[in-house]
Structure 1
Amino acid sequence: MATKTISTKHNLQVLYEDNHIIVINKRAGDIVQGDKTGDKPLSEVVKEYIKDKYNKPGNVYLGVVHRLDRPTTGIVLFAKTSKALPRLNKLFAGKEAEKTYWALVKNQPPKTTDRLVHFLKRNPKQNKSYAHSKEVPDSKKGILSYTMLKKLNAYYLLEIALETGRHHQIRSQLTAIGCPIKGDLKYGFDRSNPDGSIHLHSRKLHLIHPVSKEALTIVAPVPEENLWQAAEKA
């Protein structure tokens, strides 16, 4: 299990690194890939880190395997070699990479543990997805399972396992059961967090290494924020 965090001068939290992959603990506000905002993406920061660390003279190869929403924190995996990237893409496409999330929600969920199945329809203009109980035109099935881990003051800590990877899936499905994520104004929470984050954290990733074939489990520490810190304590 990889849990040691290394902070760098590039303001990165490196959770794991070898010749073929690198795993970062993303901060709220960072974008994984470049977008229309023109803000510097995490992928470019990681390239700079690799270039400096290994004194690479030319361009640095880095493959983006998956993304996290901008206000979300936690694990982001990148491929450092062209050998690793297609193998990682195949793992993720085949649902062989197990991703676990933590979310802090406003209301107690209807059940302590449950499997949610919705049909998600994306509205590109709003950059938002809507969860429907029945299939609607242009919708995609979204499936997740959650377990309530503990109650923290006015919030509930949920652990979430994704079976599908849809746009804003966790955010929209939790809202559909009356449990908006703390800080998530877009999906029904009543106020934003001061730093623009939402309390959704990509907590754990388990996969078979694309080259060594060894089992790898990576856990991302939660942000340095009081509520998150309380959630992480046993």
Structure 2
Amino acid sequence: MEVLFEDDSIVVCYKPAGLATQTRNIGEKDMESELSNYLKAKGESPEIHVVHRLDQPVEGVMVFAKTKTAANNLTRQIAEHQFKKHYYAIITRESFPDEGDLVDYLVKDNRTNLSKVVSENDPRAKKASLRYHTVDEWDDRKLLDIELQTGRHHQIRIQLASRTAPILGDVKYGGVSTGHNLALCSYSIGFTHPTSGKPVEFQVKPKGEDFLDSKIAN
């Protein structure tokens, strides 16, 4: 964990791949407890509020609220699609179109913790949309820059996998095993600061090994 920005309302930080945002498993580290301990060690209130999540094997930038008021404000922004989220993902399908908009209807299977694409007419279905463009290519790999327009469970992972373009390392959805975490990074978030009301944006560079050969690593 690395703190990128902090004030009285929010903490913005980098979540490494492999660390859960929030877990119920006793004794297992997660971002919530790590940040709470960080604040406590500084002599501050350990109060921390989770307002959005990243899957455990995904790295990237996140914002947490330090007060209930800030948490309510950020949660409302997310619900109203005012949060801007951008991801990098590596796929291994050369013939995949260089840019496009993907729209699907998804259902989460709570037994397997996986999502699947279903018919728009399915009463359980939730609409999922994203926009992407290719920013780099090497060997059989394509690096996509993705603008997430909705925030569904495993959305990017299943939308790409359902088009036979699973993310590198995402074995849950048919990706090639690399021995690393899946090649997916939330590299940018933008929102309105809950106290100042000013627009803010925070970015990180991917640290995953599979990104090292791409031009964004330089």
Q: The TM-score by the shorter chain falls in which range?
A: over 0.9
User: Is the 2:15–2:60 Cα contact (8 Å) retained in structure 1?
Assistant: yes
User: Is the 1:109–1:179 Cα contact (8 Å) retained in structure 2?
Assistant: no
Question: What is the aligned partner in structure 2 of residue 219 from structure 1?
Answer: 203
How far did 1:134 drift? 4.2
Instruction: Structure 1: give runs of 5+ residues left out of the alignment.
Output: 1-11
Give runs of aligned pairs for residues 150-161 of structure 1, distance below 5 A.
Answer: 150-161=136-147
Question: What is the aligned partner in structure 1 of residue 93 from structure 2?
Answer: 107
Question: What is the aligned partner in structure 1 of residue 21 from structure 2?
Answer: 32
1:39-61 deviation digits (Å, cap 9, x = unpaired): 222100011111112x23xx511
Tell me how many residue pairs correspond in the alignment.
Answer: 217
How far did 1:132 drift? 3.4
Question: What letter corresponds to residue 78 of structure 2 in structure 1?
Answer: F
Instruction: Structure 2: give runs of 5+ residues left out of the alignment.
Output: none
Matched, 1:44 2:33: yes
Which of 188, 203, 227 is matched with 2:187 structurally?
Answer: 203
Alignment CA distance shift 1:220-1:67 (3 Å): same
Question: What is the aligned partner in structure 2 of residue 170 from structure 1?
Answer: 156
Query: SS of the residue aligned with 1:83?
Result: helix
1:90-125 deviation digits (Å, cap 9, x = unpaired): 111111110001100111353211111111111111
1:52-98 deviation digits (Å, cap 9, x = unpaired): 12x23xx5111101000010000121001222111011111111110
Question: What is the aligned partner in structure 2 of residue 118 from structure 1?
Answer: 104
How far did 1:233 drift? 4.0
Q: Distance in 1 between matches of 2:60 and 2:86?
A: 10
Alignment CA distance shift 1:152-1:44 (3 Å): same
Runs of 4+ in 1 over 6 A off after TM superposition: none
User: Is the 1:182–1:199 Cα contact (8 Å) retained in structure 2?
Assistant: yes
Question: What letter corresponds to residue 133 of structure 2 in structure 1?
Answer: T
Question: What is the aligned partner in structure 1 of residue 175 from structure 2?
Answer: 189
Question: What is the aligned partner in structure 2 of residue 8 from structure 1?
Answer: none
TM-score (norm 1): 0.87
Q: Distance in 2 between matches of 1:230 and 1:217?
A: 26
How far did 1:175 drift? 0.7
How far did 1:128 drift? 0.4
Q: Distance in 2 between matches of 1:135 and 1:75?
A: 35
Computed over aligned residues only, the root mean square deviation of the Cα atoms, in angstroms, reads 1.7
Q: Percent identity?
A: 33
User: Is the 1:109–1:177 Cα contact (8 Å) retained in structure 2?
Assistant: no
